[in-house]
Amino acid sequence: MIVTFIVFAVGIALLVKGADLFVGGGSGLALRYSISPALIGSTIIAFGTSLPELVVSTNAAVTGNSGIALGNVIGSNIANIALVLALCTFIQPTMIAASGASRSALIRHTMLMLAATAAFALFALRGTLDIVAGTVFLLLFVAILVVLLREGREEAVVEIKSHGWADALYIGLGLVAVIVGAQLVVDGAITLAEAFGIPAFVIGVSVVAIGTSLPELATSVVAAIRDEGSISIGNILGSNIFNLLLVLGISLLLAPVTVGSLVDIAVVVLFSVAILPLLFARPSVVRGWSALLLLGYATYIAWSFGAVPIG
């Protein structure tokens, strides 16, 4: 069992470092070929932060562990809002209000994220997410990506550096690390689920989801402490869109998944809507709301380990 925990931890570490290398190398290579930093931020960086979820979920779908695939997507989206974003706004409750001109963009991106969540919930009501749902998700993703790319031309993003030809090496190493890490994480999650008699979905929505959300957690908390949170908020919103539409869409093309409980679907919808007070409320209210989100997240995880949403 100790070996399983070590393997799982190594897998998470490879996922985090691999995504970081991929983002750094991909951004630098794109900049080298005169692609604007705004477009890089809207595509490569956003994709890179969702790369762990993508590889883990597709790996799980291919190996017949669709519970982990769905749990990872739902859990990552919940964690991004109720853990990562809530922790950031608790530390720095003025980070959204102080974001200036980019605040209007954050509101628009929130609406896009809510639209993606609504589409996911509507298809989940059918009880089964299949290739039809996956196709619709991918088409909707393309439409939203076009909107983000157009907006990206007008917005500033974080400074990006090119590392010369080493960027291609970073991309290759990053992809290898993520692929190997994903395999270790899925294998470890399955072993843990079997050893403790815990449903695969619960492992996916909790341990795996938190692990694949570590890149967003680390970078966003640091940004909040430095009072540079607007970019991180945008990345969190973009990551949730990528997870629901791209990651889950591709996974569903590989294998369908049965939705065992609509409670988990309702939870991801409620947490997604719960982001709205963070955008419009006063800083004093934002901190209190953030604390409630963190408490709600802890409660949901505790409840998950006592429930069996998907067999």
Q: Note the pLDDT tens digit of each residue in 51-105.
A: 777 888 888 888 888 888 888 899 989 999 999 889 888 888 877 765 554 667 7
Distance of CA 219 to the CA centre of its chain: 13
Q: pLDDT (tens digit, 9 = 90+) per residue, 183-230?
A: 788 788 778 777 888 887 888 888 888 877 776 676 677 666 666 555
Between 159 and 114, whose confidence is greater?
114
Q: Which of 28-42, 56-70, 201-215, 267-281 reaches the highest mean pLDDT?
A: 267-281
Residue 44 has pLDDT above 80, yes or no: no
Please report which confidence band the pLDDT of residue 124 belongs to, taking 50, 70 and 90 as the band edges.
Answer: very high
Please report which confidence band the pLDDT of residue 33 belongs to, taking 50, 70 and 90 as the band edges.
Answer: low
Smallest Cα–Cα separation from 186: which of 54, 46, 23? 54
Average pLDDT score over the chain: 80
* φ, ψ dihedrals at 232, nearest 5°: -65, -40
Angle between helices 262-273 and 102-124 in degrees, nearest 10: 170
Between 190 and 300, whose confidence is greater?
300
Residue 299 has pLDDT above 70, yes or no: yes
Residue 98 has a CB neighbour count (10 Å cut-off) of 13
In whole angstroms, what is the distance from residue 213 CA to residue 155 CA? 25
Q: What is the pLDDT of residue 309?
A: 45
Q: What is the pLDDT of residue 180?
A: 83
The model's pTM is 0.80
* DSSP output for the chain: -HHHHHHHHHHHHHHHHHHHHHHHHHHHHHHHTT--HHHHIIIIIHHHHHHHHHHHHHHHHHTT-HHHHHHHHHHHHHHIIIIIIHHHHHH-TTTTGGGTTHHHHHHHHHHHHHHHHHHHHHHHTTSEE-HHHHHHHHHHHHHHHHHHHHHHTTS--------TTHHHHHHHHHHHHHHHHHHHHHHHHHHHHHHHT--HHHHIIIIIHHHHTHHHHHHHHHHHHTT-HHHHHHHHHHHHHIIIIIIHHHHHHH--EE---HHHHHHHHHHHHTTHHHHHS-HHHHHHHHHHHHHHHHHHHHHHTT--S--
Tokens of 294: 């963190």
Calculate the dihedral angle through the C-alpha atoms of 20, 23, 28, 29, rounding to the nearest 10 degrees: 120
Tokens of 191: 């072993």
Tokens of 140: 């909707």
Q: What is the pLDDT of residue 162?
A: 65
